[in-house]
Amino acid sequence: MNTETSAPLPADTLRDPAWKSRISLLLLAIVLLWPMLSMTEFRPWDLMDAQSLQASWQFLKNFFPPAHDAEFLQLVLVATWQTIAMATAGVTLALLAAIPLALIVNAQLSVSAIGKSGMARLPWLCRQSVRWLLVLLRSVPELVWALLFVRIVGLGPSAGVLAIALTYCGMLGKVYAEILESTDASCSRQLLENGSSRLQAFLYASLPAAASELASYTIYRWECAIRGSVIMGFVGAGGLGQRMDESMKMLAGAEVSTMLIVFMLLVSLADSFSQWLRRSLA
């Protein structure tokens, strides 16, 4: 029987060797974030104030029971379908514009660069112009586009569809181009060098290699468009968000509760559908 006991480890071996750098990074983060928190007047302890707690309780207790009369549920059903249609139509329009713009931006499909170190000046300027167009489209939030189109085309889902189409065109075009450029360029380059067109090189080389990733990102953006459609309803773009805004202005907590439940179910169904579609495409 071995009666020997192991010697205790020195204190230096038990100390985290990176503790100084961790503390330094923590202090640096505090120094950088503190002015930002001060500028935004971020005071989470105000939530625990007695007056805030009382106001929150008065607001939340009106949520129960949720409104469930047949006439109101029918209105919610119509608004929900309008939200889905707005998101789907907006993403479809965005796709129709984003795909050709992504092909223009994609340097791998440049015919002018065949056998040269770089592409010609005119095609390069064209690509840069399209890149800046995509930057402009995605830089303006869909809510701002919705406010603009509500003034142009009036209240209703048309403004939401146009807002989603413009913003998501910029997002989809940028990411599509990056996904295509991350694929192996040898196949598309070989097709172009043998006389194939840009479209043929895309369809037979770039697209098969990136199809799954392109589809996955498109579905994700469709989910985001559904959530964005609800938000744009608060500025008059129709759908579930506009109904919710009207109920909140009338302090109808039961109606707001019902629409929140419907919205959560809608997002859950969209997520389940996207997961099923991703598995089908895998």
* Per-residue pLDDT reduced to its tens digit, 40-75: 777 777 777 788 778 778 777 778 888 888 888 888
pLDDT at 157 (0 to 100): 86
Task: Find how far residue 167's CA is from the centre of its chain.
Answer: 10
Q: What is this structure's pTM?
A: 0.76
The contacts of residue 82 (CB under 8 Å, 6+ apart) are 157, 238, 239, 240
For residue 268, count other CB atoms closer than 10 A to its CB: 10
For residues 266 and 80, is the Cβ–Cβ distance under 8 A?
A: yes
For residue 155, count other CB atoms closer than 10 A to its CB: 13
Alpha helix (H) residue ranges in the chain:
11-14, 19-39, 50-61, 70-105, 121-139, 142-153, 157-181, 186-193, 198-201, 207-232, 239-249, 253-281
**pLDDT by residue for the chain (282 residues), tens digit each?**
555 555 555 555 556 677 778 888 888 888 888 888 778 777 777 777 788 778 778 777 778 888 888 888 888 898 889 888 999 999 999 999 999 898 888 877 766 656 565 666 777 788 888 889 999 998 888 888 888 888 888 888 888 899 999 999 999 999 998 888 887 777 777 777 777 777 788 888 778 888 888 888 888 888 888 888 888 888 877 788 888 888 888 877 888 888 888 888 888 887 787 778 777 766
pLDDT at 242 (0 to 100): 84
Buried b (16+ CB within 10 A) or exposed e, 23-32: eeeeeeeeee
Angle between helix axes 239-249 and 207-232 (nearest 10 degrees) is 20
